[in-house]
Amino acid sequence: MVDLKPYIIIQARMGSSRLPSKVMMPINGKPMIGYQIERLLKTKLPIIIATSDDPNNGVLIDYVKSLGVQVFRGSENNVLERYYQAAKLFGAKSIIRITGDNPLVDPNFILGQIDICAKEFNTKRYYLFGGKTKRLPMGMSFELFSFELLEEAYQNSKNKIEHEHVTPYMHQNMPGDIDIFHFQTCLNCPQLRLTVDTKDDFKLIQELILKYDCQMKSLEEIIQIFKENQYLEKINSNVIQKKWNE
């Protein structure tokens, strides 16, 4: 079994074409990314915010530092390079990749999946994700991979899409010999959308936090809230998710 010492690296910035400054938009007086960080701190794993060197990210940087979270600043558009340089600087042996627009990602689900799957990691070419057949709500997933594999992706990824989306080299198994693992879960509700790209997405997260205290709830509990309150799914049902390769 590979000795994992994962760092959570969250990619976040103030620039966003669909909803600018979304990570700092307040819900009950707290920036959205604050809810995500509070949840992820429960993992007891080190957390790094990987943002860009755009000066507009200053307010984000000041806020996350006030929470005791370390920050790395790198390329605005080459997010793969940003991840690689952040992991290299902090000496991360393995990386949990999360995006800052997923405020309700479940820390216990992350730890549980790593505990289940890491027993099968026999080399440093492991990549864990939700699988191409999505089963989790959008915004509740994560990726885990070794630094060695991240470095390989950084050295071999060639085009803009691969640089922007960080892990196509891994989830498309471009070299053909990556050890790919999928989440072990009986959940199956990919129609739910808990990521924030638009105003309607943000409106849903507001509702879930202000009315149902979902910042305190597990993935399973949040899914149950949707089952009991069917109007929630309709709040952002009109949003079309862009595919990674568009």
Q: What is the pLDDT of residue 242?
A: 72
Q: What is the CA radius of gyration of the chain?
A: 17
- Helix 79-90 / helix 147-156 crossing angle, nearest 10 deg: 140
13-66 pLDDT per residue, tens: 998 778 989 999 999 999 999 999 999 999 999 999 999 999 999 999 999 999
Which residue in the block uniquely carries the two structure tokens 């027993």? 119
Mean pLDDT, the chain, as a whole number? 94
- Report pTM: 0.95
Comparing 1-15, 164-178, 186-200, which segment has the lowest mean pLDDT? 1-15
Average pLDDT, stretch 106-113? 97
| Alpha-carbon span 198 to 201, nearest angstrom | 5
Q: Residue 179: pLDDT above 80? A: yes
Q: What is the pLDDT of residue 132?
A: 84
Q: Which residues contact 52 (CB under 8 A, 6 or more apart)?
A: 13, 15, 73, 74, 75, 76, 82
Look at residue 176 and give its three-state secondary structure. Answer: coil
**Span 94-108, average pLDDT:** 97
Count of residues in the chain: 246
Q: Spell out the SS3 assignment of 122-150.
A: CCCCEEEECCCCCCCCECCCCEEEEHHHH
Q: How confident is the model at residue 157 (pLDDT cuts 50, 70, 90)?
A: very high
What domains can be seen in the chain, in order of their start residue? 6-186 (3.90.550.10)
Indicate the pairing of strand 30-31 with strand 26-27: antiparallel
